[in-house]
Structure formats: C-alpha cells, structure tokens
Amino acid sequence: MVRTVYSPEYCLQYLEQYASQEIFVTGLILGQITDARENVIHIARTPEEKGGEAISNDGSFASEKQDPVKNLLGVSEAWVADHAKHVTRMLPGGMFVLGIFITSDEDVFEDPNYFSKVKTILNYTYKVLNTNHLMFANCPHSNERLILHMSTNTKVLTCKSIEVGPSKNVAIKPVEWKFLSKPQQWQRLDCYYEFDEVYPVIVKKSGISVKQQFQQILESSHKTIESSVMFLDGELKDPSEQLEQLIKKKKTKNSSKTAQEVPKSMHVSLFVPFENALPETVEYLECDGSIHFSGIVASSVFMYPKASVGEAIAAVKQDIIRSLASRFTMHCDALIDDNLLPEEKVCFNEPPRRVLVPVGSLYLCDYLFPGEAPAEALLSVRELLDLQITEADVICDIETPADTSEFDALDRDTSSEELLATPQEASQFMYITGIAFAFLVLFVSIFIHYYDSISEFMRKLLTIS
C-alpha cells in the first residue's frame, strides 16, 4: 500500500514560486502522523548558511553571508540539522520534522551522488535530533523520512521516502502527495500544568553545572508526567476512541435550543497518582542547596480530528516535556555563570515564556525572555519558518510574567541585601536556588517514607497500654 500524505494547497504555491525562478532551495517538511492519516502542516526553507555561525536561540544571525549554495552537493548537513533542531522547539507535541524538500534542476532520485547526499542529510539530522530524547524530536511512529522534489525545469513534483537511523534498509518507497484545497480542520487541546517542585542539590567533588542539574530535573519530570492520568473535559476517556466521536457526543448532549455552542478546544487535566509522587527510596545525603520550580506551563496541542484519545494524550505529554527541555536549554545558553549555587545567596531566575504564532489554521510556538517584545518572535518565524506575520498575530497571554513582588520586597530590605542575587532575565515559569530549602525536603521525604511504620508502632503501643 502506497503511503499517502495530505498537505495544504499553499505548500504547492510555495514550491512553485521557487521552481519558477529556477532557484535551488532545500527545506524541512513539518507535520503529524497518526494511525488515521498523515498530515503536513508546513514546509519551511532552510536559511542560507552564514559564515560558520549556527542559528542562535532567537533565530537571528550575526555573521555575514557566504556565497549562495548552487546545488545539493554544497549543502551542509550540520546546517540542516541545526535548522531542524530549532524548528522542533517551535512545534507543539505530536508534530515533527518529517523530511526535506528540494527544488532543483537535477533529479535527486536518479543521480547517485545527489541521492547519497540526501541520505547523508536525513541520517545526520536524525542523529542530531536523537541526542536529546526529552525533546521528542524524532517521530516515534516511523523512521521513514520524506523526500519531496520539484524540478525547476519540468515543474514535476515527486515524493518518495527512505528509512533513516540504525536500519540498513535502503529501499526507496513511493509516496502519494495530495494537496487539500480547503483548510485542514484541527482539534485543539489545552492543558495547564502546574509545576511546583523542590529538588535537592548535591554537589559532588567534580561539581555539577546548571545544565546537568536541569537534565536530572527533566528526567524526574518526564517520569512523573508519563505516569499521570489525563482527563478530557473532566472525563476519563477510552484511549481507542476518536476525538471526533467525543465532539459528536457532546453536540448530541447539548442539542437543546438553549444549550451553548460546544467549545472548539478540549481542556486536558493532568493527575499524578499519589503513589507515583512518593520517592521509591530514601537516601541520607548531605544537601548543598535546593532548586524550587514554580509556575504553570501552558500547552496547546493540535490533532487531526480522527486521531485517537491515546494519541492526543501522548502528544500533550510530549508537548509539556518538549517545552520544558526547550526553555532549560535556552536558559542555560543565556547564562554567563554556570555555577549552580552562589555562595550564601538565593537566586531568582525566569526561563523564557511561551507565545503562540499562527501557521495556517493552527499555532506553533516561540519563546521570549523577559523584556523581549512580540517583535522578537517575528524574527524567529521569518528565519526559521520562512513566514511573514505581524506583531498583532503573536499571542502573548497564554503565560504571564512571574510575580516577583516577594523578591522585590526582599531586595528592598537592607538587612537582606546579601541574601538575594541579581535576578536573571526570563518568565512566569521560574526557579529559585538556595541553601535552606533542601533540609526541609529531606525531612518531609523521610517522614512520608516511614509514616506507615510509625503509625503501626503507635497503634501497638496504645493497645499494650
């Protein structure tokens, strides 16, 4: 059975504009794979490579341009992979880089040199995206990647797929690419995950950096979120049921004339089972400090309506962890001092906050540090997604800046001047590092772990009395 991919019609116009000018272009194919259907949401030209510089966190470039690449053999696979890495941060859960597109006068499928280059680009990109599994950068459904080619001579469009990764299968498979004249309908799912955790910091002899500590926190958060149970609109649903069927049932239930219109988005609630929130073991460790994370991570996921509830839940979980991983990476890259705990100080930090940017009939995201205006997101969208949007199109209120009044008051207290370090720039999602918190966390963990034993001992003591 031939693989079929559905794409917005504007993607054809996008390819034709470059092919008609006989311009060589390579870029990324972005989309979603479900058991019901495979949808492409956008194709984005990879920016021209700059003089040895990588794409920065905000999507901008600092160095001068190199000479334009004339054909596929001159493309740097590292540059394409870097583009894919930055674009993945902008994708909601359930969306992935599905392959690459090319406009050229050479036939990339017939010429062995060009096809070998295509395979090198796709395999290198897969390898780079696989280095951070918490970014969920590689699509878990399949290791096959799309190759879409439009000839600048004949304007003929051809799509095929190959398998990447450890597999030695080099078979080229045909793919049927269909353009949709009407906008694709999407089911939106919104979730607000409250993050309020305290993590002890143990500095080993070799030391520990902010990035290393964040990686440990991400691993812990991933385990917690994966163990959680999710409710759609306050109800536990069958994972095999289609989202479309849930909407139809709700419309039937609210079919009376006075009934309000069924909301276009579903609200997802996340519940962590109590037993999964308890530590597996209690270790007596000397803590050097703690990190307190507090805030709400806003998640907006878009699914094909015929996708299953199970696929939607997996996408929401991916989105939360991907968002945390993206913020932590950007925050660490922006830090001047990688020292985890300043001596005898409490540091207030804010990672970047999330904003939404429109792409077709759905939204992708970007991240803004405190003090950055929505115009900063326009730069990322233009460079990374090759889209022109206005500042008014950026939705900035899904996450609000952090309330720093408590720390501002502490800063004004002359007796506490030495306790508070200068705040780093960023958002509503914040973390605080300090010395005192860790001992409280350790005490509470020990009490919870031995609570049952203490209770049983007290009952026996009362019985004897």
Q: What is the predicted pLDDT for the residue at 89?
A: 96
* pLDDT digits 0-9 by tens, 383-416: 999 999 999 999 998 998 766 666 665 555 544 4
Please state the rounded mean pLDDT for residues 226-241: 93
* pLDDT digits 0-9 by tens, 154-176: 999 999 999 998 877 778 999 99
Q: What is the predicted pLDDT for the residue at 167?
A: 77
Quickly tell me which residue has 């006075």 as its tokens: 258
**Rounded (10°) CA dihedral 336, 355, 62, 388:** 180
> What's the predicted TM-score (pTM) here?
0.83
Q: What is the predicted pLDDT for the residue at 418?
A: 42
| Cβ 271 vs Cβ 231: under 8 Å | yes
What is the rounded CA–CA span in Å between residue 254 and residue 235?
16
Q: Which of 373, 391, 435 is nearest to 58 (CA)?
A: 373
**Per-domain residue ranges of the chain:** 3-180, 187-448
Q: What is the predicted pLDDT for the residue at 453?
A: 55
For the chain, give percent helix, strand, coil, nearest 5: 35, 30, 40
- Arithmetic mean of pLDDT over the chain: 82
Q: Which of 179, 158, 310, 168 is nearest to 232 (CA)?
A: 310
* pLDDT digits 0-9 by tens, 17-73: 999 998 899 999 999 999 999 999 999 999 998 765 555 555 554 445 567 788 899
Interstrand relation of 265-271 and 229-232 (parallel, antiparallel or unpaired): antiparallel
Q: Where are the alpha helices (DSSP H) in 351-436?
A: 375-385, 405-412
| Cβ 215 vs Cβ 293: under 8 Å | no
Q: What is the predicted pLDDT for the residue at 390?
A: 93
In angstroms and rounded to an integer, the radius of gyration of the C-alpha atoms of the chain is 25
Interstrand relation of 353-359 and 187-201 (parallel, antiparallel or unpaired): unpaired
Q: 82 to each of 46, 65, 246, 311, 458, how far by Cα in Å?
A: 10, 17, 39, 28, 61
Instruction: Give the pair of three-digit tokens for residue 50.
Output: 């700059």
Q: What is the predicted pLDDT for the residue at 105?
A: 93
| Cβ 371 vs Cβ 270: under 8 Å | no
Q: What is the predicted pLDDT for the residue at 242?
A: 95
Q: What is the predicted pLDDT for the residue at 196?
A: 84
Look up the CATH number of domain 3-180: 3.40.140.10
DSSP conformational letter for 102: E
| Cβ 346 vs Cβ 421: under 8 Å | yes
DSSP conformational letter for 284: -
**Rounded (10°) CA dihedral 94, 95, 100, 101:** 130
Q: What is the predicted pLDDT for the residue at 199?
A: 84
Q: Is the pLDDT of residue 426 over 50?
A: no
Q: Tell me the three state secondary structure of residue 118.
A: helix
What is the rounded CA–CA span in Å between residue 31 and residue 145?
11
Percent of the chain with pLDDT over 70: 74
Confidence of residue 421 (pLDDT cuts 50, 70, 90): very low
Q: What is the predicted pLDDT for the residue at 264?
A: 77
Q: What is the predicted pLDDT for the residue at 427?
A: 34
What is the rounded CA–CA span in Å between residue 76 and residue 54?
11
Please state the rounded mean pLDDT for residues 114-132: 95
* pLDDT digits 0-9 by tens, 309-361: 999 999 999 999 999 999 999 988 887 666 655 555 677 788 899 999 999 88
